[in-house]
Chains A and B, each alone.
Chain A
Amino acid sequence: MANVQTPDALLVKNYVAGDENALSTLINRHQSKIYGFIYSKISDRDISDDIFQDTFIKVIKTLKSNSYNEEGKFLPWVMRIAHNLIIDHFRRNKKMPLFRETEEFSIFSIMSDNSLTIENQMISEQVEKDLKKIINELPDDQKEVLVMRIYQDLSFKEISELTGVSINTALGRMRYALMNLRKVIEKHQIILTN
């Protein structure tokens, strides 16, 4: 006996009329073709599942809101929806690329945690403490310029205005401050790196 299959158009009609089993039959009948089509473009099972789901959500909404145009065939229509969603996925992905962990590629090769470890944090605090001590040993005029430039981030023009000296003098004091710092660091062999 020949296996008589209910046509898609009739299943769609039944579904719109309220027969939920009709949708189940339609999905079972076409899932392989639609999912295979999506997977052939995406090559990722999870994303393919998402797109498959979104495709049928659109199908359900269109059918339930009676906006389905019966002129076309059901499968090509669903395929077109899937195709449009695949394009949307690639457009979105172009703006925000998705990286997946594979054997050859590790996400940590492009991602890193820049925050300091406890050990590095302690070293950094120590370095800052040492540096402050050395700076305090500088002559007052040099120390003033260095603190204003490095810690208060003032320009040499602003420093010259605040200290009442010319820009060249401020630059000279900064130069001597740095030279003196280097001398002290070299002489006492202070390590100021993290």
Chain B
Amino acid sequence: MAKIYSKKKLVTIPMNPKKETISFLLNYSKAMSFIKVGNINIETIAN
């Protein structure tokens, strides 16, 4: 059988952002909305 010369692939841990960052984004998305006044979109953040 032919020998495999290539090195064994190293296990790479996927790079992910912090949980806090994801949590912030999801909360931001829930709190954020646009109100349309005529032709203008007004951004609002609910507390």
Interface, chain A (partner B; CB < 8 A): 20, 23-24, 27, 31-32, 35-36, 39, 48-49, 52-53, 56-57, 60-61, 64-66
Asked if B28 and A57 sit within 8 Å, CB to CB, the answer is: yes
Asked if A53 and B43 sit within 8 Å, CB to CB, the answer is: no
Asked if A65 and B41 sit within 8 Å, CB to CB, the answer is: yes
Q: Provide 13 A-B residue pairs closer than 8 Å at the C-beta atoms, listed in order of the A residue.
A: A20-B30, A23-B25, A23-B26, A23-B29, A31-B17, A31-B22, A35-B17, A48-B17, A53-B25, A60-B25, A60-B28, A64-B32, A65-B41
Give chain A's interface secondary structure class: helix
Asked if B17 and A52 sit within 8 Å, CB to CB, the answer is: yes
Return chain B residues, CB-CB under 8 Å to A56: 25
What residue in chain A is nearest B13 (Cβ atoms)?
A32
Given contacts A32-B14, A32-B15, A65-B41, contact A27 B22 (CB under 8 A): yes
Asked if A60 and B29 sit within 8 Å, CB to CB, the answer is: yes
Return chain A residues, CB-CB under 8 Å to B34: 64-66
Asked if B15 and A52 sit within 8 Å, CB to CB, the answer is: no
One of B16, B28, B29, B33 near A32 (C-beta < 8 A): B16
- B side interface size, CB within 8 A: 18
Return chain B residues, CB-CB under 8 Å to A48: 17
8 A-B pairs with the lowest CB-CB distances in the bound complex, closest first: A32-B14, A36-B15, A52-B17, A56-B25, A35-B17, A60-B29, A65-B41, A65-B34
Shortest beta-carbon distance, A67 to chain B, in Å? 8
What residue in chain B is nearest A39 (Cβ atoms)?
B15
Asked if B25 and A57 sit within 8 Å, CB to CB, the answer is: yes
Question: Quick one: CB contact mask for B28-46 with A, threshold 8 Å, 1 for yes?
Answer: 1110111000000101000
Return chain A residues, CB-CB under 8 Å to B33: 64
Shortest beta-carbon distance, A40 to chain B, in Å? 9
Asked if B25 and A35 sit within 8 Å, CB to CB, the answer is: no
Return chain A residues, CB-CB under 8 Å to B47: none
Return chain A residues, CB-CB under 8 Å to B32: 60-61, 64
**B21 touches A (CB below 8 Å):** yes
A66 to B34, CA, bound (A): 9
